[in-house]
Amino acid sequence: MDTLVSLSKRRGFIFQSSEIYGGTGSCWDYGPLGVELKQNIKRLWWRDYIQRRPDMVGLDASILMHPTVWKASGHVDNFTDPMVDCLECRRRFRADKVDETPWVHYCAATKGNKFTIPSGEPCSHCGERRTLCPECGKGSLTPPRQFNLMFKTFMGPVEEDASQTYLRPETAQGIFVNFDNVAQSMRRKLPFGIGQIGKAFRNEITPGNFIFRTREFEQMEIEYFVNPRDTVEGKPADEYWHERWIADSLAWFQRYGLRAENLRLREHEKDELAHYAKRTADIEYRFPIGWSELMGIANRTDFDLKQHAQFSGKALSYFDEERKEHVVPYVIEPSAGVDRALLAFLADAYQEEEVRGEKRVVLRFHPELAPVKVAILPLLKKRDDVVRTAHAIRDTLAKHWTVVYDDTAAIGRLYRRQDEVGTPYCVTVDVQTVGDTDKGESADGKVTIRDRDSMEQVRVPIDALPAVFLDLLSGGSWAAVASRFP
């Protein structure tokens, strides 16, 4: 994780928020490359789930909502985590996560020596397990108290109870309260889904692990409405669609580069299920901190629509033409964190390898995720015609993709820099490209394309570049392209 944090800062992916003031705990700013990567994740998700599917539509609801929304949804009463306090150092922990960090232990069997023991393990000297505060190793922990994770705020200039509301802790409720608006305006028939990407806020007791758990984060959520009376392939529609969404979500992460061995499914135990859920399965990723939740896929039943109907007095149901009856749809919710997805893609892409006795750091991003698609590198920055040609190529390709020009180092160094930020292709312009009249050498009008993963190079006419990159950046293989330009 330290390697990723330091690479992220050094190469302009992610910076500590308000760093010049000493930083704000667990808040992060996405730098020039980070914002490209994040936009790419959101764009692919939107394209694959909203634009390409006939059964999906999008929404962008506001973050501040009517306060009764959170009463109806159960968040005011139930959106809590169990919190324990250390009576000695006063630090606070989430009771259900307290054994997930290494713990400090003063071991009686070794004259009170201090040890830091890996999470969940007993002391190898005395065999004791953690009972005291994991940070200071001295204080007892209080019994758990429920702590509400919603951020309170006030609407308008008067800070009084009547104007109190919350920053949304999930984007989902914006979808539920708009169910009827969307269904009516878009003439939707069940099953159909509404997707949304947006910020959510949770006053987490123990944020941390870089962008894994923060208090402000982004979610990509789908609420997929089904008719609970329907049967699909012999299964109740909600159960069928739940399975479909689990499979689709796993496949999506793999399509953009997460390795199968780093992904697994975890079913929630009955006592762990949220107050609204019939079944929830988490997709977990093997993060640098160990297996942890990347996204959750819940069957929220008809809980939310029924609650909002009751609290608002507006019917939120669907007229089943076939059965001639009103029904409240069940909803399947695939809910992913943008920031956690970004961390997973970053961790999976990161590789160190040895090339001709030197360490090469490379981010093997899927081309559609890579923040920069092509880097244009002039081999000789003293030659005006080389530099001019390189700029012209940059301008042409920048009409279609994120492209950079760099001439601030020797070529080997420039390649390493692009490898380290995951740029899939580099284009070099050299003297052969533009010709050398002094030596009587004519221009060949070709440039060299270098492939990040194989480090192979081919020479391609400048005119062919847009078509070649269109092919390479939309799924075409390097081998196939290289064979056309021997």
Binding residues for ligand ATP, rule: CB under 6 A, are 170, 202, 204, 213-214, 217, 219, 293-296, 335-337, 339-340
Measured from the CB atom, the residue of 33 and 41 that comes closer to ligand ATP is 41
Q: Which of 155, 156, 105, 165 is nearest to 135 (CA)?
A: 105
Measured from the CB atom, the residue of 209 and 432 that comes closer to ligand ATP is 209
The two tokens of residue 10 are 């050094």
Checking DSSP bridges between strand 290-301 and strand 279-287, what pairing results, if any? antiparallel
Q: Ramachandran region of residue 440, left (φ > 0), alpha (ψ -120 to 50) or beta?
A: left
The minimum distance between CB 125 and ligand ATP, in angstroms, equals 33
Instruction: Give the H/E segment covering residue 397.
Output: helix 384-397
Measured from the CB atom, the residue of 117 and 295 that comes closer to ligand ATP is 295
Rounded to 10 deg, the angle between the 338-349 and 2-10 helix axes is: 100
The minimum distance between CB 37 and ligand ATP, in angstroms, equals 16
User: Cα 425 vs. chain centroid, distance in angstroms?
Assistant: 24
The single-letter code of the amino acid at 277 is A
Burial class of residue 295 (count of CB atoms within 10 Å of its CB; 0-12, 13-18, 19+):
buried
The minimum distance between CB 183 and ligand ATP, in angstroms, equals 24
Measured from the CB atom, the residue of 226 and 341 that comes closer to ligand ATP is 341
With vertex at residue 133, the alpha carbon angle to CA 129 and CA 135, rounded to the nearest 5 degrees, is 105
The minimum distance between CB 335 and ligand ATP, in angstroms, equals 4
Measured from the CB atom, the residue of 115 and 151 that comes closer to ligand ATP is 151
Measured from the CB atom, the residue of 148 and 214 that comes closer to ligand ATP is 214
The minimum distance between CB 198 and ligand ATP, in angstroms, equals 12
The minimum distance between CB 167 and ligand ATP, in angstroms, equals 13
Measured from the CB atom, the residue of 276 and 425 that comes closer to ligand ATP is 276
**C-alpha distances in angstroms, 40 versus 46, 48, 60, 337?**
10, 12, 18, 14
Q: Which of 441, 442, 459 is nearest to 450 (CA)?
A: 459
Measured from the CB atom, the residue of 13 and 217 that comes closer to ligand ATP is 217
Q: How many CA atoms lie within 13 A of 119 on its CB side?
A: 8
The minimum distance between CB 25 and ligand ATP, in angstroms, equals 13
Q: Give the separation between CA 306 and CA 308, rounded to whole angstroms.
A: 6
The two tokens of residue 374 are 């092509």
| Residue number, nearest CB to ligand ATP | 337
The minimum distance between CB 62 and ligand ATP, in angstroms, equals 19
